[in-house]
Structure 1
Amino acid sequence: MRKTETTVLNRHIEDGILWLTKNNPQDNFGMSVAMLKAMGEALHSISGQPDIRAVVIDAGGRGFHAGAVAVTELQPRLEDLGRDDFQRLVKMGHQLGSQIAALPIPVVGIARGGALGGGLELLLRSDFLYCLDGARFSFPEVTLGFVAAWGGTQLAARLMPFRRAQEMLLLGESISGVQAAEFGLVTGSFATPELLDGHLRDVLTRLRHCSPTSVQWTKECLGAAWEGSLDLGLDKEMEAETETMDSGDFLRGLDALGSGQIYDYSAGKAVAKKSR
């Protein structure tokens, strides 16, 4: 295991997983300028580490991700903020969000206690997002004179039933982890930390048996489903299948299947299937 630590973000790599844990209780584990920078640098470093096969984003303390603390840091006084600052703030959130979404490997967000505002918006860029049943989620921006402009309006309206998204975004309503899972805002919620951690371990183990090339191209196809027409999505599938099969991973997967095993793409060998 290799471990490094920055001021606001703990990072360590274990068994091919990059764990990023927010370590800024002074900002209530929110998205400060320093956090945005540290997380961006951590994600950028992945390009030079091909052994990393997934990222997990978590928060310290009770696991609650607060919002865009950065708004208080752009000028000495809030009254001094101008249009350039407003646009800079949005751009910072958009850049990190796009960086998370563009990763070729799976990103797992963990919001044990929930998330609000900018912290929630960036977590929504994850491929999987898990929480506890008692977690709380909200976009309080309208009650504070802001807009959920780090992707919140667009992502919530796509992930949730539109009427539910309207209620959250236009009223600043808070929902529970159970409701967030029911509405599709998160992937799943769990009654206890032990159940959540157990499911996370299972997900990370199952990813070992997924071809990294297949995962990368499947992510691109899913992105195309959001961004364009069906025809464009089908064109992306053609490209994806061609590139993925050309990697030869399907030969390894089918060979393992034929022998009653499953291929471990991290270990580079076929292994015995484990009952679930």
Structure 2
Amino acid sequence: MEQFKTLQIVRKTPNSRVFHLYLNRPSRGNALSVDSFSEFPRALAALDRNPDVNVVVLSGAGKHFCAGIDLTALASITSLSGDRGRSGEKLRRDIKFLQDSITAIERCRKPVIAAVHGACIGAGVDIVTACDIRYCTEDAFFSVKEVDLAITADLGTLQRLPAIVGYGKAMELALSGRRISGPEAKELGLVSKTFCSKDEMDKEVGLLAEGIASKSPLAVTGTKAVLLRSRELSLDQGLDYVATWNSAVLVSDDLKEAVSAQTQKRKPVFAKL
């Protein structure tokens, strides 16, 4: 598997279908560099293609999840010169490139679970709002910090956060840039659960991930795909979409195995995707 400068992929247990993706710049609080934005979609695409992977757990190495975008990366992106029209067009392409890096989480067919400890600031919030499930430690903290850097958050938080915590709360968090604690993040619905320690979180997230990984990969990837697509569709359109989806994949060996296992009162064993 490809080696990365800013990320690390780990399979903690042999034969496990849970793989761990670490933001791996601990000396910089896992702030995202230009390399990070280039490597992130490549790593997720590799995990997506790997038939041994059913679930991805995303976390940060060291003391923090992600301290945001590295200011040197921000400076290189916003350094403009020459014709204003051409400079603006280039900046737009650069922003779209960064956006695409975060959206790679949603493009990955396999569920991505965020396990957050320490700081989750700015681009860190962009990342976790694109994840499928979010957990954190009680001492974790979050901030939509871009407004304090005199920029409008443009990598997905303003688009995804309202659907997670509600429009009013998203507006308040984005305009104030204030820090919220792990327990408040749970109260808002940004995370599903908080944990007293990172060790406890890692253990519980591992159990959840293994549980999901043991299920039919066709059903799991289909559930993620349909839920993501349904954000953009009316109820009737969403029902039509899932009917079309299931007409292609419902009748499968996984279905036969699930029914057989239920009948025989044993755990099902599904083929790789």
Task: Map residues 40-51 of structure 1 onto 2, 5 A cutoff.
Answer: 40-51=41-52
Q: Is the counterpart of residue 73 in structure 1 residue 76 in structure 2? A: yes
In 1, Cα distance between equivalents of 2:237 and 2:20: 34
* Residues 4, 10 of structure 1: 8 Å contact kept: no
CA change 1:18–1:208 in 2 (3 A) is: closer
Task: Please name the residue that 2:270 is paired with.
Answer: 265
What stretches of structure 2 of length at least 5 have no aligned partner? none
1:81-123 per-position Cα deviation (integer Å, ceiling 9, x unaligned) = 9524532342123211222101111111121114111121022
TM-score normalized with structure 1 length: 0.87
Task: Please name the residue that 1:7 is paired with.
Answer: 5
In 1, Cα distance between equivalents of 2:44 and 2:54: 12
Task: Map residues 38-187 of structure 1 onto 2, 5 A cutoff.
Answer: 38-69=39-70, 70-74=73-77, 78=79, 82-187=87-192
* Residues 22, 60 of structure 1: 8 Å contact kept: yes
In 2, Cα distance between equivalents of 1:205 and 1:47: 17
Letter in 1 for 2:249: T
What stretches of structure 1 of length at least 5 have no aligned partner? 269-276
CA change 1:41–1:183 in 2 (3 A) is: same
Task: Please name the residue that 1:232 is paired with.
Answer: 237
Q: Which has the higher strand share?
A: 1
Letter in 1 for 2:20: W
1:131-158 per-position Cα deviation (integer Å, ceiling 9, x unaligned) = 1011110111112111111011111111
Letter in 2 for 1:71: L
CA change 1:28–1:209 in 2 (3 A) is: closer
* Residues 67, 118 of structure 1: 8 Å contact kept: yes
Task: Please name the residue that 1:34 is paired with.
Answer: 35
Q: State the Cα RMSD in Å.
A: 2.2
- Following TM superposition, by how much is the alpha carbon of 1:79 offset from its aligned partner in structure 2, in angstroms? 6.8
- Following TM superposition, by how much is the alpha carbon of 1:215 offset from its aligned partner in structure 2, in angstroms? 1.0
CA change 1:43–1:256 in 2 (3 A) is: same
